[in-house]
Structure 1
Amino acid sequence: IRERTQALHDEIIQRKNAEQEVQAALGYTRSVIEANPDLMVVLDRSGIILDVNAATETVTGISRNTLIGTPYRTYLVDDEGTNQAFEQLLVSGKTEHLIEVRGPGGNITPMSMNATVFAGKDPQDVRIIVAAHDITRQKRDEAALRAAFDEQVILLREVHHRVKNNLQIIISLTSLQMRQADDPGVKQILSETQNRVRAMSLVHEKLYRSQSLSRIDFADYTRFLATQLFSYYGMDTKRVRLEFAMGRVMVDIGTAVPLGLIMNELISNALKHAFPKGREGSLSIGCECIGDIITLSIRDTGVGMPEGFDWKNTSSLGMRLVTSLVDQVDGTITLDATNGTAFTITAKRPPETNDAGSMPLTGRG
């Protein structure tokens, strides 16, 4: 009897010790939950609040006893996405979502929420643990960054706009100078200078109107430039066809300006010299980018280069400018004079992120 009594006594002591350890563990766990600065809520599968921590009382401005037994949706800003997230949670067992919690005085607190489903032995005995972190500061910082970025975009757009306007002033000044000049040679030089300035001005105009403000579609730029030059030189499009075979090639300003000047010189040369005395033909312009190599081509079916003409060592300012600009973009230039004149230029494009690449497009102007 004594042995049984002692065994029973020992078992009771062990049980009491175990209960005390459990209570201590529960108390420690509760202390950790209460000390957590993040909102923590326990829900049943219907979304009814079973328990909350102190942070939840602070955010909502409502006591724990009042919160328990009420639907969680009562304290959120109406959001259909939140309802869908809860339904998805019951299916997948876990979810993340941004929520807005109503607080005292109509204050709204944006929060990043994570929820996990814990199922008991009974499938209906489900507990959902929700933890939500206040992201008010993050939202404020994002808004400040967005405002700063928007301001920089406006300033950069204004810079391109002013540069374009300043170049237009230069064009206007040369026009006034041309009116006062009597020498046809001087007028020709000023006219060619104007076209070069227009080519640079067009780059800034395209940048000013572009989404990125740092890159332009060079194919779109070339179409516009070629059309302008056709009009400037009074070309009859029925006699000389303007053809394009170009892909979408995005370039930055450091590449666009020299390539634009190159295209201006070569297209102008073709229009001035390739089709004399009513000669008919075509001017074909190509543009594509494979990898980091841009390839431009200007081909005409005109009279071709004069026999023995050394285009690499000419005194022509235009051709000297072309060869200099090709070197500037770390490129190459070749001439095929077997049927008219065909220049091919390659240039290395600086590496870029999120590049749109080259999408084949063809057309005729």
Structure 2
Amino acid sequence: MSVSVDPSFLKPAQQQPAQALRPHAEHAFAAELTALAAQDDRPRPPRWKLSPWGVATYLLGGTLPDGTVITPKYVGSRRLVEVAVSTLATDRALLLLGVPGTAKTWVSEHLAAAVSGDSTLLVQGTAGTPEEAIRYGWNYAQLLAQGPSRAAMVPSPVMRAMAEGRTVRVEELTRIPADVQDALITVLSEKTLPIPELGQEVQAVRGFNLVATANDRDRGVNELSSALRRRFNTVVLPLPESVEAEVDIVARRVDQIGRSLDLPAVPDGITEIRRVVTVFRELRDGITSDGRTKVKSPSGTLSTAEAISVVTGGLALAAHFGDGVLRAGDVAAGILGAVVRDPAADRVVWREYLEAVVRERDGWSDFYRACREVSG
């Protein structure tokens, strides 16, 4: 016996506070989504706010016929984005896989915002994520007073997405215990969520799908079973291919974050952004950008996301304790914190890199001095 979920379960996401520190994607980019929806005349899958073409345009950016500029949310391969969007238009779930900092969460949020107009149906995976986060829980006061009933149920984001025909997100899937992961198998294969306590089930309506993210470095933490992995189409998000691409990504995100925090404009610090990105890439790759010098890699990931954090922190220093222009001294401490995760081994790696590479690089003397000063 199938059952529709009580409408009280399906309340829309709360309206964003006017001064939300980090607005959801559907609120932060509402104007772009509205403009796209108005001019997107291509076929849309059931309950999608945009066509697959519109979703891809929202993520990758472009200019609409009326001149509206859609800013890029993801800088990378168009084909990867097209495959991800096309997957959501089928009955297969989407798994975004990659090393830390490759924008998996960012892409999943924007996909959900563009497809369903709501990115808040979210299960955050941790070692302590319970099965109720994927299936449903109970209001125990009502359960004890009235026994099992729909009124006593607390639906999970997955159950709500199934009933509403929306996109649900599962972050860090491989951090969820294996027995909890397996609760997704029936949902993804049969498109039903059994409720044995009531002898009922919730069936997914058209438009439902799931986007999960997983970390390459978490392989072996809670490896996906073959049965569950078959239910996903996996798209691997790579690190940016070039320095220029990574600088562009960092500059765009720092500009967005900086504007929300009233920090200086990014162009004032583009030189330091390039330096941070160069340092991270060389330490990550184990070789300098000119291919001449091999360097040791530290234990951390030195991801693009970490570069964004370093530069944003530097901008805050420049704004509040400097002249508003991002300089080497503003990013030095942040770089040290990102690189030196293991105080013993990583400090040696960092000092060798400073002396062998940074010290000898033309035009980097101020950067070298600032890094030496904070490194002690």
Question: Whose relative contact order is higher, 1 or 2, with alpha carbons under 8 Å and at least 6 apart?
Answer: 2
Normalised TM-score (structure 1):
0.24
The structure number with the bigger radius of gyration is 1
Normalised TM-score (structure 2):
0.23
